[in-house]
């Protein structure tokens, strides 16, 4: 229990995009900060497996926290992404209508857009849709056009926020699940984790799907979080990208429906489904779910080709049964308890706003002042794959390991992989390297590069290949040396 | 912003120093081309053969059974003796239609080459789990067979103790034996199709000899495990390859190896604007292995996935010779006649034959795969509907590449044809 006695000003529980945004904001103030998470890396829950859309804000009901924070957050994205050097774009979105009934839904969305002060939305007709996006199903009737809809790489955003927080003194304790939070007799908070226990003047619960259980430990108003799983297909990048905008279908009460969207890296994402499940950590994909995605996608994009699929995945939305975010002071709890609970879509869009508001609120509670020596984030360097030849020459001159291509599919160099491991909150696993560099994210899915990535992790971390994991915990890639396993099988032989 | 680097002038630039690239280089050098550079991204030449430590290579070419590294070493030694410039650790980033090749390496940095001819010999890669959309978790313990082979044969580590293999491609079969010999338990080899996609000799030597069951018309329908694989569900499939409910078999294992197909690695080819064949996922080539861009050639597994390295070498010698002819101004003339896949035939290569009317024609080999298993069929070649060639085969299967040779006389009969079609027929055709 080495943490016993260490007193933090604030402990942030959950290192997803919301937790890291809160941490980044709070690190602008003096104060001793700790971020804890159950997973071995940041962004290892909902933040790594979602649509990566920065929603314009027409979907959320006016007057809700979702609507307010979505619109505020999405307006912050451009500047924040630039500051952090994270891939971001604003290609716009279409919500497709295939009937006059759908047109009524679109009109309601347009009215919401106006109420939420989302700029530039309008309803457009078939010809204009097909001119904008020629691969759209020609049976389309009309669409809501939202020019401010954006795209971000959610895990890269989270990693960059975490780095900025860490560069300004925030500590991270990963692979350390929180078991219990409770107020202490001296007016502080105790955070019990699997590895340790910590004290803090304030706690901020940003634990995603786990936030409901923590909330209910300390609040007088109980909440119920529903784990709503969404399954996706990811398609390879193609020479001619079939859609430049995010293509939604009309929303249902289960969510925004199945979309077809480019990603910031030029892939195409298809999904998600929306299935309520019992185990909030079960991110398996299912035949039924994947088939559902494909069926629904064909309405938007009849010519979708399964041969372009490079992977499938699923993510969990933490849906609060009343449908809105719960942000701020924990109701009925002693002073110093804050939270962001029920942060499902548009949570990624809202994250910068949640981070700013909640970070400022907790700092004010703690009586902290903005630090004079706060270090501005170091923007992530341009990826080798996006460099011009001249930039590649320059990069090579500074670091000859830019000359070694480790991941051929995504053109990731050894220099970039080493840098990802050396970042303030660095990669510790194959997936950690993948999220930060895209090595292994391409069409061969790490078939060629994972042995080399493993070697580089070993060199950087000073561990044996037998210690390297795919994603922490027991996800080890190798089970033993040839000799060890042969010996186990035939103990009598030499 | 463009680089100011001066382009390095070279007659022939070969991308890849696996068996295909080495053979092309040896042939080109023998044909008298001295300005020749081979670029290889790995730190050693030899390509995938380096990790294929089992024997069985070279039966056709050398009339003896070599291991993969031994086979590769013969070409590496020859290339060294001939003083061929093979540069390892160099990754080619792009090839243009004008044969400008951009590469980067730790040793040389960014380099631009201006070649007179380019031979593409990048090989192929394995189809990953994601491409199959197998449901289940994404835990550790799922490897393509080749990745597992690299861990075992090059790195000295075991990726698992108990495994199931999905797909009966040759690498999967070889790994079934390799893992067994190394002390792992291989519970099953599961194949979606009603026939294996591997060589028959590998089924016998790698599965039967080790009592590893082969489940034909089965597939993996679920993967279990949170952090590491703990098991897989295997189901029988119907004739449309859809899983049949109620046929599930559960296997407890820590590893799933995938041997579900190889894909020619053609990113550079596509980037250059070369016409591609949907049937092979490789370039469209003529009988001189020339692509749709004059002076760009393709050979080996980047062109179409072979079963035997001997045939890769054979094809690549021709490509190297043709590239040399091209830079020496001796390229073939004549009219291009398309070679089409007829009934039962998939991915015939070359897709075009160039015939100069009245010239003396050299033999042309055509390789393809049958679409299913055939007993005692005929391979028939027709020129504009008239049968000009027929050959009886005992058995044909998709796992074994078929090969026919058209001789001068048969080619002469094609000179005026609009198209040549290859098909598989159960009836003996009447030759025109």
The A residues from 100 to 159 touching B (CB cutoff 8 Å) are none
B4: pLDDT strictly greater than 90? no
CATH number for position A114? 3.30.9.10
pLDDT in tens, chain A (494 residues): 455 567 999 999 999 999 999 999 999 998 999 999 999 999 999 999 999 999 999 999 999 999 999 999 999 999 999 999 999 999 999 999 999 999 999 999 999 999 999 999 999 999 999 999 999 999 999 999 999 999 999 999 999 999 999 999 999 999 999 999 999 999 999 999 999 999 999 999 999 999 999 999 999 999 999 999 999 999 998 878 999 999 999 987 777 789 999 999 999 999 999 999 999 999 999 999 999 999 999 999 999 998 899 999 999 999 999 999 999 999 999 999 999 999 999 999 999 999 999 999 999 999 999 999 999 999 999 999 999 999 999 999 999 999 999 999 999 999 999 999 999 999 999 999 999 999 999 989 999 999 999 999 999 999 999 999 999 999 999 999 999 999 998 888 75
Q: Is A371 found in the same domain as A444?
A: no
**Partner residue opposite A290 with nearest CB, options B1, B133, B265:** B133
pLDDT of residue A494: 58
pLDDT of residue B332: 77
Q: Is A408 found in the same domain as A276?
A: no
The CA distance from B34 to B40, in Å, is 18
A486 backbone φψ class: left, alpha, beta (φ>0; ψ -120 to 50): alpha
Q: Is A461 found in the same domain as A407?
A: yes
CA distance A192 to chain B (A): 24
Residue A282 lies in a domain: yes
B28: pLDDT strictly greater than 50? yes
CB within 8 Å: A404 and B125: no
A475 — phi, psi (to 5°)? -85, 45
Q: Which of A330, A477, A162, A33 is nearest to B255 (CA)?
A: A477
B356 — phi, psi (to 5°)? -95, 125
Peptide bond between residue A346 and the one before it cis (omega within 30 degrees of 0)? yes
The pTM for the full model equals: 0.95
CB within 8 Å: B157 and A473: no
CA atoms within a 13 Å half-sphere pointing along the CA-CB vector of A26: 36
The A residues from 452 to 491 touching B (CB cutoff 8 Å) are 465-466, 469-482, 484-490
Query: Taking CB atoms and an 8 Å cut-off, how many pairs form between chains A and B?
Result: 170
CATH number for position A421? 1.10.10
Q: Is A76 found in the same domain as A3?
A: yes
Q: Is A113 found in the same domain as A13?
A: no
* Residues whose CB is less than 8 angstroms from the CB of residue A85 and which lie 6 or more positions away in sequence, other chains included: A160, A377, A378, A379, A380, A381, A382
Residue A176 lies in a domain: yes
Contacts of B133 in chain A (CB under 8 A): 233, 285, 290, 306, 309, 312
The CA distance from A478 to A189, in Å, is 41
The A residues from 274 to 303 touching B (CB cutoff 8 Å) are 283-287, 289-290
How far are the Cα atoms of B108, B263, B315, B394, B430 from residue B345, in angstroms, in the given order?
45, 19, 20, 16, 19
Residue that is written with structure tokens 């103030």 in the block: A29
The A residues from 230 to 259 touching B (CB cutoff 8 Å) are 233-234, 239
How far are the Cα atoms of A35, A331, B17 from residue A178, in angstroms, in the given order?
11, 20, 52
CB within 8 Å: B146 and A447: yes
What is the number of structural domains in chain A?
3
Residue A117 lies in a domain: yes
pLDDT of residue A1: 47
> Could you tell me if A259 and A220 are in contact, meaning their C-beta atoms sit under 8 angstroms apart?
no
Number of alpha helices (DSSP H) and beta strands (DSSP E) in chain B: 9, 30
CB within 8 Å: A390 and B182: no
> Could you tell me if A389 and A114 are in contact, meaning their C-beta atoms sit under 8 angstroms apart?
no
Higher pLDDT, A179 or B133: A179
A151 — phi, psi (to 5°)? -130, 140
User: Going by DSSP bridges, is the β-strand pair A225-235/A309-320 parallel, antiparallel, or unpaired?
Assistant: antiparallel
Q: Is A64 found in the same domain as A212?
A: yes
Q: Is A300 found in the same domain as A175?
A: no
**Domain's final residue, options A380, A396, A421:** A380
pLDDT tens-digit map of B213-246:
999 999 999 999 999 999 999 999 999 999 999 9
Residue A262 lies in a domain: yes
How far are the Cα atoms of A124, B59, B344, B345, B366 from residue B369, in angstroms, in the given order?
50, 21, 8, 6, 10
Q: Is A241 found in the same domain as A127?
A: yes
pLDDT tens-digit map of B275-316:
999 999 999 999 999 999 999 999 999 999 999 999 999 999
**Partner residue opposite A485 with nearest CB, options B131, B184, B221:** B184
**Partner residue opposite A284 with nearest CB, options B108, B137, B160:** B137
**Partner residue opposite A479 with nearest CB, options B1, B91, B159:** B159
CB within 8 Å: A485 and B221: no
Residue A478 lies in a domain: no
Domains, chain B, ordered by start:
8-125+263-327 (3.50.50.60), 128-260 (3.50.50.60), 335-425 (2.60.40)
Report the sign of the C-alpha dihedral through residues B237, B239, B242, B246, in that order.
negative
Q: Is B105 on the interface with A (CB under 8 A)?
A: yes
CB within 8 Å: A389 and B91: no
CA distance B263 to chain A (A): 10
Q: What is the DSSP string of B347-362?
A: EEE-SEEEE-TTS-PP
Q: Is A247 found in the same domain as A135?
A: yes
CA distance B113 to chain A (A): 13
A319 has catalytic annotation: no
Q: Is B244 on the interface with A (CB under 8 A)?
A: no
CA distance B46 to chain A (A): 15
Nearest-by-CA chain A residue for B89? A404
Residue A477 lies in a domain: no
The CA distance from A14 to A177, in Å, is 9
Q: Is A392 found in the same domain as A248?
A: no
Q: Which of A161, A74, A171 is nearest to A379 (CA)?
A: A161
Q: Is B394 on the interface with A (CB under 8 A)?
A: no
Domain of residue A129: give its range. 87-150+229-313
Residue A360 lies in a domain: yes
B1: pLDDT strictly greater than 80? no
Contacts of A287 in chain B (CB under 8 A): 135, 221, 243
Residue A476 lies in a domain: no
Q: For residue A188, how far is the Cα from the chain centroid?
A: 31
H or E, element range at A197: strand A197-205
Q: What is the mean pLDDT of chain B?
A: 95
H or E, element range at A472: none
CB within 8 Å: B130 and A234: yes
Q: Is A123 found in the same domain as A98?
A: yes
CATH number for position A80? 3.50.50.60
**Domain's final residue, options A364, A380, A396:** A380
pLDDT of residue B265: 96
Q: Which of A443, A410, A48 is nearest to B130 (CA)?
A: A443
Segment B184-188 mean pLDDT: 98
Helix segments in A266-410, DSSP class H: 287-300, 347-366, 389-398
Q: Is A59 found in the same domain as A28?
A: yes
**Partner residue opposite A283 with nearest CB, options B106, B107, B137:** B137
Exposed e or buried b for every residue in A320-337, given b needs 16+ CB within 10 A? beeebbbbbbbeebeebb
H or E, element range at B17: none
């Amino acid at each position: 229990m080495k943490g016993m006695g260490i007193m933090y000003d604030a402990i942030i529980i959950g290192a997803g995009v919301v937790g890291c945004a809160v941490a980044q904001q709070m690190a602008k103030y003096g104060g001793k900060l700790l971020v804890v998470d159950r997973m071995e890396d940041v962004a290892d829950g909902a933040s790594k497996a979602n649509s990566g859309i920065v929603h314009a804000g027409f979907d959320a009901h006016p007057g809700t926290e979702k609507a307010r924070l979505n619109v505020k957050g999405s307006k912050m994205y451009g500047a924040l992404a630039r500051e952090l050097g994270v891939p971001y774009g604003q290609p716009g979105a279409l919500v497709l209508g295939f009937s006059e009934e759908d047109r009524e839904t679109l009109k309601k969305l347009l009215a919401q857009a106006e109420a939420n002060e989302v700029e530039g939305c309008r309803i457009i007709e078939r010809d204009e849709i097909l001119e904008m996006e020629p691969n759209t199903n020609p049976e389309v009737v009309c669409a809501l056009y939202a020019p401010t809809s954006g795209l971000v790489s959610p895990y890269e955003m989270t990693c960059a926020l975490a780095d900025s927080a860490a560069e300004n003194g925030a500590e991270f304790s990963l692979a350390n699940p929180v078991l219990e939070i409770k107020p202490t007799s001296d007016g502080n908070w105790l955070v019990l984790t699997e590895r340790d226990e910590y004290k803090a003047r304030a706690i901020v619960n940003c634990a995603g799907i786990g936030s409901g259980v923590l909330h209910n430990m300390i609040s007088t108003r109980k909440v119920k979080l529903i784990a709503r799983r969404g399954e996706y297909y990811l398609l390879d990048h193609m020479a001619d990208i079939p859609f430049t905008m995010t293509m939604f279908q009309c929303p249902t009460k289960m969510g925004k429906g199945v979309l077809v969207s480019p990603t910031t890296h030029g892939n195409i994402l298809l999904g998600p489904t929306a299935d309520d499940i019992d185990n909030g950590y079960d991110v398996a994909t299912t035949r039924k779910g994947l088939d559902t995605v494909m069926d629904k996608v064909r309405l938007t994009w009849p010519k979708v080709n399964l041969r372009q699929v490079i992977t499938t995945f699923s993510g969990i939305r933490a849906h609060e049964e009343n449908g809105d975010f719960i942000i701020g002071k924990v109701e009925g709890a002693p002073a110093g308890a804050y939270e962001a609970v029920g942060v499902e879509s548009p949570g990624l869009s809202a994250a910068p706003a949640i981070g700013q508001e909640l970070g400022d609120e907790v700092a004010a509670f703690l009586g902290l002042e903005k630090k004079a020596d706060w270090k501005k984030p170091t923007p992530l360097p341009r990826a080798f794959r996006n460099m011009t030849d001249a930039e590649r020459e320059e990069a090579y001159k500074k670091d000859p390991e830019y000359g070694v291509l480790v991941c051929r599919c995504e053109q990731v160099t050894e220099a970039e992989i080493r840098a990802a491991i050396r970042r303030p909150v660095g990669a510790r696993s194959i997936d950690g390297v993948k999220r930060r560099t895209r090595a292994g994210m391409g069409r061969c899915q790490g078939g060629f590069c994972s042995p080399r990535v493993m070697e580089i992790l070993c060199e950087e971390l000073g561990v044996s290949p037998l210690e390297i994991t795919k994603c922490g915990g027991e996800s080890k890639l190798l089970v033993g040396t040839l000799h060890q396993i042969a010996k186990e099988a035939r103990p009598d032989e030499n | 912003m463009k680089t100011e680097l001066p382009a390095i002038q070279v007659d022939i630039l070969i991308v890849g120093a696996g068996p295909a690239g080495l053979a092309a280089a040896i042939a080109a050098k023998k044909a008298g081309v001295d300005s020749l550079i081979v670029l290889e991204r790995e730190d050693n030449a030899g390509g995938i053969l380096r990790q294929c430590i089992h024997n069985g290579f070279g039966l056709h070419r050398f009339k003896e059974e070599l291991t993969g590294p031994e086979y590769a070493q013969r070409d590496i030694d020859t290339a060294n003796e001939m003083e061929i410039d093979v540069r390892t650790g160099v990754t080619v980033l792009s090839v243009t239609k004008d044969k400008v090749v951009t590469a980067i390496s730790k040793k040389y940095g960014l380099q631009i080459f201006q070649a007179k001819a380019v031979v593409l010999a990048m090989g192929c890669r394995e189809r990953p789990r994601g491409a199959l959309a197998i449901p289940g978790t994404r835990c550790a313990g799922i490897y393509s067979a080749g990745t597992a082979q690299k861990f075992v044969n090059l790195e000295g580590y075991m990726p698992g103790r108990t495994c199931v293999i999905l797909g009966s491609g040759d690498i999967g079969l070889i790994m079934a034996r390799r893992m067994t010999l190394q002390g792992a338990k291989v519970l099953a080899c599961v194949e979606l199709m009603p026939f294996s996609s591997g060589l028959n000799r590998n089924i016998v030597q790698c599965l039967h000899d080790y009592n590893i069951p082969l489940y034909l018309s089965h597939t993996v329908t679920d993967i279990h495990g949170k952090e590491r694989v703990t098991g897989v569900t295997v189901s029988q499939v119907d004739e449309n390859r859809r899983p049949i409910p109620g046929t599930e078999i559960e296997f407890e294992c820590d590893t799933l190896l995938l041997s579900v197909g190889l894909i020619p690695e053609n990113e550079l080819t596509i980037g250059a604007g070369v016409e591609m064949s949907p049937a092979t996922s490789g370039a469209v080539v003529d009988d001189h292995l020339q692509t749709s861009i004059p002076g760009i050639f393709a050979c080996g597994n980047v062109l179409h996935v072979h079963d035997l390295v001997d045939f890769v070498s054979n094809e690549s010698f021709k490509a190297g010779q043709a590239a040399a002819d091209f830079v020496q101004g001796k390229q073939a003339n004549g009219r291009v006649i398309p070679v089409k896949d007829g009934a039962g035939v998939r991915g015939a290569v070359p897709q075009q034959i160039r015939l100069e009317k009245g010239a003396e024609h050299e033999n042309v080999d055509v390789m393809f795969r049958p679409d299913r298993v055939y007993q005692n069929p005929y391979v028939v070649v027709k020129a504009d509907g008239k049968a000009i060639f027929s050959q009886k085969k005992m058995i044909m299967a998709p796992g074994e590449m078929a090969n026919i040779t058209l001789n001068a006389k048969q080619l002469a009969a094609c000179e005026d044809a609009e198209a040549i079609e290859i098909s598989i027929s159960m009836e003996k055709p009447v030759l025109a």
